[in-house]
Chain A
Amino acid sequence: MTKLKPRFSLFGIGVFAVLLLGVAPLVLTDHWLSNLGKYCCWAIAAVGIGLAWGRGGMLVMGQGVFFALGAYSMAMHLTLETAGDGVPGFMVLYDPLAPLPAFWEPFRSSVFTLLAIVLLPVIVAGILGYALFKRRVKGAYFAILTQALAVALATLISSTIRETGGDTGLSDFKYFFGFVLKDPANRQMVYLITAALEDAGSGDRIEGWRVTAHDSTQIPAAVDRLIDEIRTSVGISIASIAASDPPQRLTTASLTALRKQWEGLQAYLRGDYVRAIRLLEEATALDPDFAVAYSILGIALSDAGARDTRILRSFRRAYELRDQLTDSERYVVVGLHAMLVLADLPTAIAAFQSHIEVTRGTGEGMWYASLGEALMEHGEFVAAETALQEARRLWPTARNQEGLVTALVRNGKDGEAREVLEEARARHPRHPMLVVSRANLEARAGGYARAHAVLDTGVAGPGAPQVPLALATLDATQGKLREALGHLRVLQREQRARPFAFEVLETAAAIGTLRVRLDGADAAVAEVEEALAELPASPRALADYPYLPLARFFVAAGRLHRARQLFTQYDRHVPPNLRGPNLWLEHRVRAAISLAEGKPRDALSELRLTRNVAPVYAGPFDSPYMTIDQQPELARVYARLARPDSALAVYERYLEVPDLYRTNVDALELGSALMHTAQLYEQRGDARRAVARYRQLADLWSEADPGPGVTARRAAGRAALIGRR
């Protein structure tokens, strides 16, 4: 190869520069121009690699690290410029009160940013290079070590999503050193809206109209202009032409966000919550005004077992943006907001019903499951079954089918429920909720072993807490507390691996509640306190803290002062507008404290307050579909009020209720409820019923751990004794 003369190569560079800077903007479309810009960025990085590898013989696998340091410096500055005096949008999304991290602060200055872009990579590379080359590390070792550096940085960034934007990254810049930065590709995007007048008889086209809109928010105005045009040319006499809502309003201007939202929805429908949450969070980061994405994100988070205020914020943001939505979407958002943020069941039911009405026949409405859930939480199981049967025809999603199964079981149609479930399973074989439904259906018929087998083969994928929880409740119901603990610990380990810090604590409370029975209160309290110490309440996340599940545990462990302390903290740190989802638990924990303090009358009035409240944050040992008149804790209150007949009635209702999720409650309650019922019958002199309940308990706990095992043997002995009399 002949070597180019320096002057010639300078000339070549000059020609290339003119081509890039002068000619390219004139001849290329904006799309290709922005691609060309990207290629130039990569070329600069590649020149660096070429220099290091070609001239220095060092293959830098971690060149991306230096690329990223520059990119993040620039992006942080642009983000801050867009945010003005405030905090960047994505940080607010995670925590509305978040202060700006200290390392962001200097990037407000454009001078500092420009210096940092060059100096930061230089410093990091300098330190690394000095350390490695001083010891003559080269060749493959050097490549590997730089690769390790790249991996380390990538893990660090994706794990600090609250400070750096994590996997989603930083985007949506509006200003560039004072200039308004608007993606040229978007500026060129034009929506064409056309209308034509046809002859009714022949179908011939008589006249056509065309208007343009420059972005999606201008479409309604453009439609109005179109109508004006038609009116002036055809004549005002055609009264039927009226400005109306465009049939399907685009609610996002970002196609990428729309695609991510759609993929997220698909992932959610498949039961892949982790992927759904990631995609939807990306969609909302791309377009912070994307109302539909927020509402699906909220649903996916709550199905994945998240408990933090991300859910609330998603629904509230969707609710704030509801005016952008079509009627059908707006009803969904209003309904979800009422149900999951305000915990107001009647409003939610009305909104979901309107949604179904509006969309009937259009093939749009898919939120039957939410209507069914709201109806069932309100105790209207027949209405729920009707709605969900229709959903089964139109939208056989896993959640709709699961809701239908719940309603059918409750209405005493176990056979039909089984058929629906089989069909749903064929369609969505891996959906965790369906696996749990099937197991619960087995457990209802007393087949705990079969239920266990169903769950064992079920998919315990990440992000689906339902399966390990169901295993734990099954084992606990049968008094096998030690095995139940094992399942909860598996769940806790999985939660620890993901950024579900508060759910770890909630699971700790559940573990503690079981350990109170197994190892005594002291050991249980020690474990929960250790978990609490591991995860101290940081001031930024105070509203997310699971105060109430922890308070409930401390009541169960007999540590009333700790429970009261947590309640004081809850009152102080959780603002009233975030308390909706907690209300149900709040009343019940207050009742439990009152009962433990010896004030059963207060407990009774607290429990009665739960009637119209949606059980949004039902704990692992709660069933959302059992009303308060079916809860053993009401029976305990009656017993303390010396009203044994009322207590017995409540216990009987609880023992007979055909609820699909009853094993959740049974886990802690069934054994003691059987014992208590038997004793109440015995006091009443009804030997036959007492013996039946005692025997039931002995059967239930026949394979139990030593603690419950003793109770079971006592029950069996008692049954034999009464039987002999």
Chain B
Amino acid sequence: MDVVVGQLFAGVSQGSILLLIALGLALTFGQMGVINMAHGEFLMIGAFTAYLVQQVIDSSDLSIPVALPVAFVVAGLLGLLLEVSIIQWMYRRPLDTLLVTVGVSLILQQAALQIFPSQGVPVEKPSWLDGQLNILGYNWPLRQVFTILLATVCVAALAAWLKYSSFGRRIRATVQNRDLAETAGISTRTVDRLTFFVGSGLAGVAGVAASLIGGTNSQMGAQYIIPAFLVVAAGGIGQLKGTIVAAWAVGVVLSCFAYWTTGSLAQVLAFILVIVFLQLRPQGLFTVRTRSLV
């Protein structure tokens, strides 16, 4: 029983990181029809930002809270740069953006490999994340609790922002009908850039969390991006709740399979499971739109 609960919890925390990445993916995909394969590299950039912040601020207790907003801004700005320089020229051409951003992701990975040592860099864990929290008779590692809380706060903030702010209303309008939104006087270009900034920034925040759980190296983005896409495929686009449920489900499935078999077999099994799931619910969990984009 302990094992099951432990794996469930580890899965939820892994799913939380997936959720932060998948939110950005789902936002840009749903709104602009853009598939950003370099999205995982923004996670990597967030993790390396955490490391660099630590080189400036010596105490790891302080540097991680500082790194969170810094990573958000750094990854967001780089996302914005990608949007302005490349992606804005290929809206509504999902397959072309997909190929181009695969190239961008390879460049970013190689750049990280050139700048940082190939075995990766160590990110010191803050001392307040050492230890465990006792809830309901089980000991939860604080690091995992932190990841889950972080994801929950980010999602809540994003949902509130989308629902109540004027920018949020404009984003929702653009997602629902771009032409009508433009007619109503919304600058969809500005909205697109902002969405890209926020989506990439969330991946940066996920990177800080990921650097506390696993290693920080040039390959880490590639590790997370495929499960994140599986989340988007299973969760559907257009609504947050599909992504949330799918992210945690994929996280738990990966973690349980990895416990029963091996980490690599778990990826294969999770892939098969998503294909099977699409047989049952081709529209994803909640969305009303179909998967026939082209």
Interface positions of A (Cβ within 8 A of B): 53, 57, 59, 61, 128, 131-132, 134-141, 143-145, 147-149, 151-153, 155-156, 158-160, 272, 274-275, 430, 456, 459-463, 486, 497
A132-B278, A140-B95 in contact; A156/B268 too (CB < 8 A)?
Answer: yes
3 A-B pairs closest in CB distance:
A159-B264, A139-B294, A135-B282
A159 to B102, CA, bound (A): 24
| Contact call A137/B278, Cβ cutoff below 8 A | yes
Listed by A's residue number, 29 A-B pairs whose Cβ atoms lie within 8 Å are: A53-B95, A61-B102, A131-B275, A136-B290, A136-B292, A137-B278, A138-B291, A138-B294, A139-B293, A140-B35, A141-B293, A143-B95, A143-B98, A144-B232, A147-B37, A147-B229, A148-B229, A148-B230, A151-B222, A151-B226, A152-B226, A155-B264, A156-B267, A158-B264, A159-B262, A430-B117, A461-B122, A462-B120, A497-B263
| Residue contact A147 to B294, C-beta cutoff 8 Å | no
Determine if B122 and A459 form an interchain contact, defined as CB atoms under 8 angstroms apart.
yes
Say what secondary structure dominates the interface of chain A.
helix
Tell me whether B264 and A156 are in contact (CB under 8 A): yes
**Closest A residue, CB atoms, query B37:** A147
Question: Given A134, A145, A159, A275, which contacts B118 in the complex, CB threshold below 8 Å?
Answer: A275
A residues within 8 A CB of B99?
A: 59
In the complex, whether B203 has a CB less than 8 A from a CB of chain A is no
Q: Are A155 and B35 in contact (CB under 8 A)?
A: no
Chain B, 69-96, contact with A by CB distance < 8 Å: what is the 0/1 string?
Answer: 0000000000000000000000000110
Query: Do A145 and B275 form a contact, CB below 8 Å, given A140-B94, A274-B119?
Result: yes
B23-53: CB near A (< 8 Å → 1, else 0) gives 0000001000101010000000000000000
Q: Is B271 an interface residue (CB 8 A)?
A: yes
Bound Cα distance A145, B35 (Å):
13
* Residue from A135, A138, A160 whose CB has the most chain B CB atoms within 10 Å: A135
Asked if B98 and A59 make an inter-chain contact with CB atoms under 8 angstroms apart, the answer reads yes
How far apart are A185's CB and chain B's nearest CB, in angstroms? 29
Q: Which of A57, A132, A463 has the most CB of B within 10 A?
A: A132
Inter-chain contacts of A275 with B (CB < 8 A)? 118-119
Q: A139-B294, A151-B226 are in contact. List 11 more A-B contacts (CB 8 A).
A: A131-B276, A136-B291, A140-B29, A140-B94, A140-B95, A147-B37, A148-B226, A155-B268, A275-B118, A275-B119, A461-B119
Chain A positions within 8 Å of B278 at CB level = 131-132, 135, 137
Q: Does B107 belong to the interface (CB within 8 Å)?
A: no
Most buried by B among A61, A139, A158, A463: A139
Q: How far is the CB of A304 from chain B (nearest CB, A)?
A: 12
- The smallest beta-carbon distance between A276 and chain B, in angstroms, is 11
Q: Please list the residues of chain B having a beta carbon within 8 angstroms of any beta carbon in chain A.
A: 29, 33, 35, 37, 94-95, 98-99, 102, 117-120, 122, 124, 130, 215, 222, 226, 229-230, 232-233, 262-265, 267-268, 271, 274-276, 278-279, 282, 290-294
**If the complex has contacts A140-B293, A275-B119, A461-B120, are A134 and B279 also in contact, measured as CB distance less than 8 A?**
yes
- Residues A138 and B293 in contact, CB atoms below 8 Å apart: yes
Q: In the complex, A140→B30 CA distance in Å?
A: 12
A135 and B95 in contact (CB under 8 A), knowing A144-B35, A148-B271, A463-B119?
Answer: no
| B3 to chain A: closest residue by CB | A530
A272 touches B118 (CB 8 A): yes
Smallest CB gap from B282: residue in A: A135
Chain B residue at smallest Cβ distance from A137: B291
B27 CB to nearest A CB, Å: 15
* B120 proximity list for chain A (CB < 8 A): 461-462
Q: In the complex, what residue of chain B is closest to A430 when comparing beta carbons?
A: B117
B33: A residues at CB distance < 8 A: 140
Q: How far is the CA of A44 from the CA of B35 in the complex (A)?
A: 28
A272 to B120, CA, bound (A): 10
Q: Are B267 and A155 in contact (CB under 8 A)?
A: yes
B230 neighbours in A (Cβ, 8 Å):
148
User: Which residues of chain B have C-beta atoms less than 8 A from A138's C-beta?
Assistant: 291-294
Chain B residues with Cβ below 8 Å from A486 are 130
**Could you tell me if B229 and A152 are in contact, using CB atoms closer than 8 angstroms?**
no
**Which one of A147, A158, A456 has the greatest number of beta carbons of chain B within 10 Å?**
A147
Q: Give Cα distance in the complex from A210 to B99, angstroms.
A: 55
Hey, which chain B residues are within 8 Å of A459, CB to CB?
122
Q: Which residues of A contact B226 (CB under 8 A)?
A: 147-148, 151-152
CB distance from B134 to the nearest CB of A (A): 15
Instruction: Evaluate contact between B294 and A140: CB separation under 8 angstroms.
Output: yes
**Do A135 and B293 form a contact, CB below 8 Å, given A140-B35, A152-B271, A461-B120?**
no
Interface pair A135/B279, CB less than 8 Å apart = yes
Q: How far is the CB of B234 from chain A (nearest CB, A)?
A: 11
Write out the residue numbers on chain A whose beta carbons fall within 8 Å of the beta carbon of B268: 152-153, 155-156
Bound Cα distance from A145 to B274, whole angstroms: 9
Q: Nearest residue in A to B222 (C-beta to C-beta)?
A: A151
Which residues from chain B contact A61 at a C-beta distance below 8 Å?
Answer: 98, 102
A459–B123 alpha-carbon span in the complex (Å): 10
CB distance from A271 to the nearest CB of B (A): 9
Cα A100 to Cα B105 with chains together (Å): 39
The docked-state distance in angstroms from the alpha carbon of A274 to that of B118 is 10
Residues of A within 8 A of B122 (CB): 459-461
Distance in angstroms between the alpha carbons of A148 and B232 in the assembled complex:
12
Known: A140-B35, A156-B265, A461-B122. A149 touches B271 (CB 8 A): yes
Which residue from chain A places its CB closest to the CB of B227 in the assembled complex?
A: A148
Nearest-CB residue, chain B, relative to A275: B118
Evaluate contact between B263 and A159: CB separation under 8 angstroms. Answer: yes
